[in-house]
């Protein structure tokens, strides 16, 4: 359980709807492409309605003020998909360490689980602590050029190391680091401007209405539970 899971949830009933086709969406979808168990294609690109309303403003602002567009990398995840991705991340970490583990003995590797949980929320079925992406309020976003090509941000989305920390390049003064830090700061600034909160470990992860958002904004309760 994360510190933000202590925030109570008062579900406001905001609908989970399809992301409009005029948004720049990553194609192919990164997790569907891996075999994640989405029920069908219509369940892949969805978010809460108010989240989409705010993203429209983010994208319009970026286009008007900067040379970038918003690219949506991932959005709502059913719990089954979150479980698939969490388990995959666990096994990838085990592979790095040459450990032969299984789902049955996962609990015997707390240090690996701790590392995985820095980047992947545990796929809890407890309504008190839903994974952020399973609320429909969290999404992963990047910057792209006007042709929709992802721009370099200093680490890849889902890269499980310290370079994915939003502020990692803050005090590194070589040319690439300055560019990456500027892009990360731009993304954060614009997302914050329209009410989104950033995950402390991931430059790409932002949310509105979930427990993480409530915790970072000192709200008494979250607006979105698992959906």
3-state secondary structure 159-202: CCCHHHCCCCCCCCCCHHHHHHHHHHHHHHHHHHHCCCEECCCC
Q: Are 136 and 47 in contact (CB under 8 A)?
A: yes
If you search the block for the tokens 């429209």, which residue do you land on?
56
How do residues 149-181 score in pLDDT, each as one tens digit?
A: 999 999 999 999 999 999 999 999 899 999 999
Give me Rg for the CA atoms of the chain: 17
- CA 205 – CA 199 distance, rounded (Å): 5
Give all domains of the chain, ordered by start, each with its CATH number: 3-77+130-216 (3.30.1380.10)
Give the residue among 50, 86, 51 at the shortest CA–CA distance from 70.
51
Q: Enumerate the H helices of 66-142 as residue ranges.
A: 79-96, 110-116
pLDDT (tens, 9 = 90+) of the chain, 227 residues, equals 899 999 999 999 999 999 998 899 999 999 999 999 998 888 899 999 999 999 999 999 998 988 899 999 999 999 999 999 999 999 999 999 999 999 899 999 999 999 999 999 999 999 999 999 999 999 999 999 988 899 999 999 999 999 999 999 999 989 999 999 999 999 999 999 999 999 999 999 999 999 999 999 999 999 999 99
Backbone angles phi, psi at 52, to 5 degrees: -65, -40
Q: What is the pTM of this model?
A: 0.96
């Amino acid at each position: 359980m994360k510190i933000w899971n202590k925030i109570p949830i008062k579900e406001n009933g905001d609908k989970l709807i399809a992301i409009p086709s005029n948004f720049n969406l990553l194609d192919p979808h990164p997790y569907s492409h891996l075999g994640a168990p989405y029920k069908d294609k219509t369940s892949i690109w969805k978010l809460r309605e108010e989240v989409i309303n705010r993203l429209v403003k983010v994208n319009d602002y970026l286009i008007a003020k900067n040379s970038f567009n918003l690219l949506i990398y991932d959005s709502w995840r059913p719990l089954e998909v979150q479980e698939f991705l969490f388990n995959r991340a666990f096994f990838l970490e085990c592979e790095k360490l040459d450990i032969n583990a299984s789902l049955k003995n996962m609990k015997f590797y707390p240090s690996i689980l701790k590392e995985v949980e820095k980047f992947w929320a545990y796929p809890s079925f407890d309504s008190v602590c839903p994974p952020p992406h399973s609320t429909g309020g969290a999404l992963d976003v990047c910057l792209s050029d006007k042709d929709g090509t992802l721009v370099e941000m200093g680490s890849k989305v889902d890269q499980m190391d310290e370079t994915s920390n939003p502020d990692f390049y803050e005090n590194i003064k070589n040319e690439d680091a300055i560019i990456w830090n500027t892009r990360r700061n731009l993304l954060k600034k614009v997302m914050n401007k329209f009410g989104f909160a950033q995950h402390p470990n991931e430059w790409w992860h932002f949310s509105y209405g979930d427990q993480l958002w409530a915790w970072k904004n000192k709200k008494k309760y979250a607006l979105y539970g698992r959906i």
